[in-house]
């Protein structure tokens, strides 16, 4: 175990060399995060300034176009008012109207052509050019934008179309400081550049310079003003990355050297550890006893393969577990916990102790545990080492041997009892014969004397019947104990049961027990020895009556018989205490009795008689709440079967 502790310490020191490197990475990450955040903040501020500049430039263009539209409206108003000539001096009358003056002769048109106008066209109502005028120096220029102004329908009618240069518009409306800072462009709806104040008409696809667009709306429908920053703020990340790389080259070289030396040492230590761990695992797993290591608080530190196979749990589910353990029986946790605390306190028996554990499959296992101190490399006790032996099979063999010896003793006692019973049967045969003879002589004497008292004669007759019954019982028991086969013959079961109840009638009345019977009206004939079956019924009814002696009234016994396939089943139910925690096998065991004066042979003999008839005698809880004894007898109408009765 101290090897494991030492390996754990080495494993924790293995990564100490990486701590400075990790701190350096953390510092670099913090600096880069700050740089990225600061750059993002500057770019956002730059974008806000660009948006403000774009909006300001768009307002300037709209104002310029508004002035140009106002000038065009002024020309249209003047053209809509035909000129008149003053009256002549001779006649004093007004001269007739003259045609409007040519557009080129108008001072406001000439002023516009010197500005951003490139031409002015007067179209009549049928879209024919009535007059037109162009700035000669701008006639062949590229893109031009238009402004239109309608004239009244009354003469002269039509509309004016003003063509102007977007490039001149940009030059006149864009402030000089804005043109130095941005590339200014006008773009139509098809992404074509109409005019630009830049050396680069449009930013290329890979141009990442910041830009912003503002639509001119009604001033120039479909036209947008775009500002592209000429000189974006230089990013501070690249210089920072360069500085970091240059600074970390020596650090990486030193770290690589330290890492190489550390890896070499780690590989050597790992090779030694693997060899030692392999040897230790081979020794632990090859042993036939279970090993477990626990710390001072009882937590499992290590287990070997034999221990895992013993309890049925894998090592990964056990190592690190603290009490209560999964292999402790759930129904005895307080007792096992108390014993574990005693062992952890150093009070475990040196000769070991037996314990009952629970396998993962649910079966119980008996183990013998030896506890010894677990000492580390410094000589300090860090826990306890347990050696566990599986003694389940050993205890099973010992129990089987004890049961075999007990069975032999029971057999010896039964043999002795059989001899005693045989002797008693032989000795009782003569007194019973004498009683029958005296009873017959007494009846004959009363007849000669002329005594006709019915009570006396009835008593003498019942006495004769009881003596004869006792003789038959003694004879059958003697034959049974001397290994003679029972006299199996077809017989009616109902008279046998009635005869047994008749003999028990006085005893049941004395004990205030109510007896109920329920026989099928068509009970088939059975193959049985009537005397022995009668004794079985008497014994079962007497046992039920004895069990009811301590019960409050009503005390009830029910005897019923019914067909069950090839057999006839007889059941004796009572409302007594039932099994009272005992098992049926315990009740049928020889020499076991619940009565102080009982010999414990009644039910054992009854089972032997029923099994001699190839039936089954069983005990189970009764629907009445007490105990039910039941046995089965073969039917006689199936025909004699020598295989059933010994032949």
pLDDT tens readout for residues 429-441: 778 777 878 788 8
Closest CA to 100 of 88, 83, 116: 83
Q: Are residues 369 and 498 in the same domain?
A: no
Confidence of residue 302 (pLDDT cuts 50, 70, 90): confident
Q: Are residues 406 and 386 in the same domain?
A: no
474 in the same domain as 505: no
Percent of the chain beyond pLDDT 70?
74
Which tokens go with 547?
Answer: 């069990």
CATH of the domain at 430: 1.10.287.130
Position 570 confidence tier, pLDDT thresholds 50, 70, 90: very high
Tell me whether residue 207 is in a domain: yes
Residue 273's contacts (CB-CB under 8 Å, 6 or more residues apart) are 7, 10
Task: Give the separation between CA 275 and CA 290, rounded to whole angstroms.
Answer: 23
Query: Which among 481, 466, 406 has a CA at the least distance from the CA of 436?
Result: 466
- Domain-embedded: residue 10: no
Contacts of 383 (CB under 8 A, 6+ apart): 1, 293, 294, 295, 296, 301, 374
CA 281/CA 15 separation, integer angstroms: 26
Residue 282 is assigned to a structural domain of this protein: no
Q: What is the pLDDT of residue 99?
A: 45
Last residue of one domain, picked from the residues 356, 373, 390:
390
Q: State yes or no: pLDDT of 97 exceeds 50.
A: no
The per-residue b/e assignment along 507-538, b for 16 or more CB within 10 angstroms, e otherwise, is ebeeeebebeeeeeeebbebbbbbbbbbbbbb
Give kind and range of the element (H or E) at residue 193. strand 193-197
Final residue before a domain boundary, out of 425, 454, 484: 484
Same domain, 320 and 442: no
Q: Is residue 83 within 8 Å of residue 98, measured between CB atoms?
A: yes
Give pLDDT, residue 561.
92
Q: Does one domain contain both 353 and 498? A: no
- CATH number, residue 580: 3.30.565.10
CATH assignment at residue 344:
3.30.450.20
Verify that 326 and 371 share a domain, yes or no: yes
Residue 7 lies in a domain: no
The per-residue pLDDT for 284 is 65
Report the C-alpha gap between 208 and 204 in whole angstroms.
Answer: 8
* Residue 234 pLDDT: 59
**415 has a pLDDT exceeding 70:** no
- Is there a domain that residue 71 lies in? yes
Structurally, the chain folds into a number of domains equal to 4
Looking at the chain, the number of H-run helices and the number of E-run strands are 16, 20
On whether the CB atoms of residues 169 and 65 are closer than 8 A, the answer is yes
Q: What is the DSSP letter of 321?
A: -
Q: In terms of pLDDT, which residue wins out, 500 or 477?
A: 500
End-of-domain residue from the set 457, 484, 511: 484
Could you count the other beta carbons within 10 Å of the beta carbon of residue 224? 19
Helix (H, G, I), strand (E, B) or coil at 420: helix
493 and 615 share one domain: yes
- pLDDT score for 282: 64
256 located within any domain: no
Inter-axis angle of helices 530-547 and 602-612, nearest 10: 150
pLDDT digits (tens, 9 = 90+) for 18-74: 566 666 667 667 767 777 787 788 888 888 988 988 888 888 888 888 888 888 888
Q: Is residue 28 part of a domain?
A: no
SS3 249: helix
Q: Say what the pLDDT of residue 631 is.
A: 92
My answer on whether 362 and 303 are in the same domain is yes
- Check whether residue 56 and residue 135 sit in a common domain: yes
Instruction: List the single range of 132-141, 300-309, 321-330, 471-480 with lowest mean pLDDT.
Output: 471-480
- Tell whether 368 and 462 lie within a shared domain: no
Are both 208 and 324 inside the same structural domain?
Answer: no
Same domain, 479 and 493: no
Domain range for residue 156? 35-80+102-235
Q: DSSP labels for 589-628?
A: STT--SSTT--S-HHHHHHHHHHHTT--EEEEE-TTSSEE
Could you report how far apart the first and last alpha carbons of the chain are, in Å?
73
- Give the mean pLDDT of 300-317: 89
* Eight-class DSSP state of 219: G
Residue 72 resides in a domain? yes
Encoding tokens for residue 631?
Answer: 């046995």
Q: What mean pLDDT value characterizes the chain?
A: 78
């Amino acid at each position: 175990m101290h090897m494991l502790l030492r390996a754990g310490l080495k494993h924790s020191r293995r990564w100490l060399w990486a701590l400075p490197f990790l701190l350096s990475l953390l510092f670099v990450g913090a600096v880069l995060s700050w740089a990225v955040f600061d750059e993002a903040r500057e770019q956002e501020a730059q974008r806000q300034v660009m948006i403000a500049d774009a909006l300001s430039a768009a307002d300037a263009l709209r104002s310029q176009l508004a002035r140009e539209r106002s000038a065009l409206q002024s020309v249209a108003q003047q053209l809509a008012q035909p000129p008149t000539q003053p009256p002549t001096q001779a006649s004093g009358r007004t001269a007739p109207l003259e045609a409007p003056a040519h557009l080129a002769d108008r001072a406001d048109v000439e002023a516009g052509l010197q500005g951003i106008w490139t031409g002015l066209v007067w179209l009549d109502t049928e879209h024919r050019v009535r007059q037109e005028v162009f700035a000669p120096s701008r006639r062949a220029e590229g893109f031009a934008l238009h402004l239109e102004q309608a004239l009244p329908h009354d003469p002269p009618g039509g509309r004016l179309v003003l063509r102007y240069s977007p490039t001149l518009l940009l030059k006149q409306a864009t402030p000089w400081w804005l043109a130095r800072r941005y590339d200014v462009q006008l773009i139509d709806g098809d992404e074509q550049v109409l005019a630009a104040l830049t050396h680069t008409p449009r930013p290329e696809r890979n141009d990442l310079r910041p830009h912003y667009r503002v639509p001119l709306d009604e001033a120039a429908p479909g036209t947008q003003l775009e500002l592209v920053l000429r000189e974006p703020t230089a990013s501070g990340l690249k210089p920072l990355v360069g500085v970091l790389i240059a600074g970390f080259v020596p650090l990486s070289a030193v770290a690589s050297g330290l890492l190489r030396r550390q890896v070499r040492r780690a590989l050597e230590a790992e090779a030694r550890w693997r060899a030692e761990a392999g040897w230790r695992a081979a020794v632990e797993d090859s042993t036939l006893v279970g090993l477990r290591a626990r710390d001072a608080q009882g937590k499992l530190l290590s287990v070997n393969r034999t221990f895992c196979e013993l309890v049925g749990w894998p090592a990964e589910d056990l190592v690190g577990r603290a009490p209560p353990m999964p292999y402790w029986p759930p129904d005895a946790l307080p007792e096992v916990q108390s014993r574990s605390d005693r062992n952890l306190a150093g009070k475990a028996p040196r000769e070991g102790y037996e314990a009952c554990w629970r396998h993962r499959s649910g079966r119980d296992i008996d183990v013998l545990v030896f506890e010894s101190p677990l000492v580390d490399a410094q000589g300090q006790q860090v826990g306890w080492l347990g050696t566990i032996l599986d003694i389940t099979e050993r205890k099973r063999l010992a129990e089987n041997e004890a049961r075999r010896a007990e069975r032999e003793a029971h057999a010896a006692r039964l043999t002795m009892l059989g001899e005693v019973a045989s002797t008693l049967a032989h000795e009782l045969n003569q007194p019973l014969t004498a009683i029958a003879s005296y009873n017959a002589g007494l009846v004959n004497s009363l007849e000669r004397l002329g005594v006709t008292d019915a009570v006396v004669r009835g008593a003498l007759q019942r006495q004769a019947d009881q003596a004869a019954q006792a003789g038959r019982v003694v004879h059958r028991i003697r034959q049974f104990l001397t290994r003679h086969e029972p006299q199996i013959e077809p017989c009616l079961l109902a008279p046998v049961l009635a005869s047994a109840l008749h003999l028990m009638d006085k005893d049941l009345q004395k004990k205030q027990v109510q007896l109920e019977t329920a026989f099928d009206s068509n009970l088939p004939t059975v193959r049985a020895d009537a005397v022995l079956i009668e004794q079985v019924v008497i014994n079962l009814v007497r046992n039920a009556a004895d069990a009811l002696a301590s019960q409050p009234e009503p005390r009830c016994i029910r005897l019923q018989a019914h067909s069950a396939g090839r057999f006839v089943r007889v059941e004796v139910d009572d409302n007594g205490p039932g099994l009272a925690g005992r098992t049926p096998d315990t009740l049928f065991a020889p020499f076991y009795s619940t009565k102080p004066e009982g010999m414990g042979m009644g039910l054992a003999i009854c089972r032997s008689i029923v099994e001699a008839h190839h039936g089954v005698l069983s005990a189970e809880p009764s629907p009445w709440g007490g105990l039910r004894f039941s046995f089965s007898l073969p039917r006689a109408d199936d025909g004699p079967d020598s295989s059933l009765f010994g032949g």
